[in-house]
Amino acid sequence: MSQSDRFGKDFFESGKRKPWLYKDYNYEELYPLFRFAATAIKTQFNPERVLDVGCAKGFLVKAFRDIGIEAWGIDVSEYALSTAPDDVRKFLYMVDLNSDALPFADSYFNCVAFLGTIECLDSHKKILSELRRVTQPGAGMYIRTAYRTDPEDTIRRNVHGRGYWLKEFSRYGFKLLPTWQGPFANQWSYGTLLFERK
């Protein structure tokens, strides 16, 4: 199964109440949450240009643009990208984070949002080196990842604890900032990590 097929309609609109799948990933329910996240990230980093890594249907990109911040998204899912709201689709690119270079110039971004995605990758090495390339020194990174998952979850194959991620991000030149307990803590042990690009 291709990366894009793995994150197809069955993943986003499974219709099932399974914690490792989305029942119905829709704008009406989720936009307010992403608007809240965009506002929180703005308060934290006051960014000019944000990259949303694993942007799915582009709701966070839309939320940033709606508050006047230039934002772009990348994702592997043809299904998610093709069902993004019309006014953000042109700001989203299809990219496989396991292997692809990013379609952005060096040092273009001064903020990265990376929500619920690094734990879904086969390898995070390419994207971390690309994020180092496309960000400016001092850029902020807002990461949310699962430190644990369900044994039946076949989607999240790169699940690690906080200490592991601190070492990995440090290897790619990202310094931990005092961690703010973000709005997303839940029973799945999602953690929020904030970094600054050195």
- Name which position in 41, 50, 88, 115 contacts ligand SAM (CB under 6 A): 115
Minimum distance between the CB of residue 54 and ligand SAM, rounded to whole angstroms?
A: 3
- List of E strands, the chain: 49-53, 70-75, 92-94, 109-115, 135-146, 174-176, 190-197
CB 135 within 8 A of CB 107: yes
Q: Which stretch binds ligand SAM (CB under 6 A): 41-49, 114-122, 130-138, 190-198?
A: 114-122
For 51-60, give one letter per residue: b (16+ CB within 10 A) or e. bbbbbbbbbb
Tokens of 13: 């609109």
Q: Which residue has tokens 């990933």?
A: 25
Q: Which of 85, 84, 76 is nearest to 54 (CA)?
A: 76
Distance CA 2, CA 144 (A): 24
Selected from 71, 120, 141, 193, the binder of ligand SAM by CB under 6 A is 120
Of 83, 110, 117, 135, the residue at the interface with ligand SAM (CB under 6 A) is 117
Q: How far is the CB of 95 from ligand SAM (least distance, A)?
A: 6
Measured CA to CA, the distance from residue 35 to residue 15 in angstroms comes to 24
Beta strands in 24-108 (DSSP E): 49-53, 70-75, 92-94
The whole-angstrom separation of Cα 18 and Cα 22 is 7
14 is a contact residue toward ligand SAM (CB under 6 A)? no
Nearer to ligand SAM, 56 or 69 (CB): 56
What residues numbered 16-55 form the site for ligand SAM, per CB under 6 A?
A: 54
| Chosen residue from 76, 88, 131, 134 binding ligand SAM by CB under 6 A | 76
Contacting residue, 72, 75, 135, 197, with ligand SAM by CB under 6 A = 75
Say whether residue 80 binds ligand SAM (CB under 6 A): yes
96 part of the interface to ligand SAM, by CB under 6 A: yes
Size of the site for ligand SAM (CB under 6 A): 17
Using CB under 6 A as the binding rule, whether residue 145 contacts ligand SAM is answered as: no
Q: Does 56 bind ligand SAM (CB under 6 A)?
A: yes
> Which residues would be at the binding site for ligand SAM (CB under 6 A)?
3, 7, 54, 56, 75-77, 80, 95-98, 115-117, 120-121
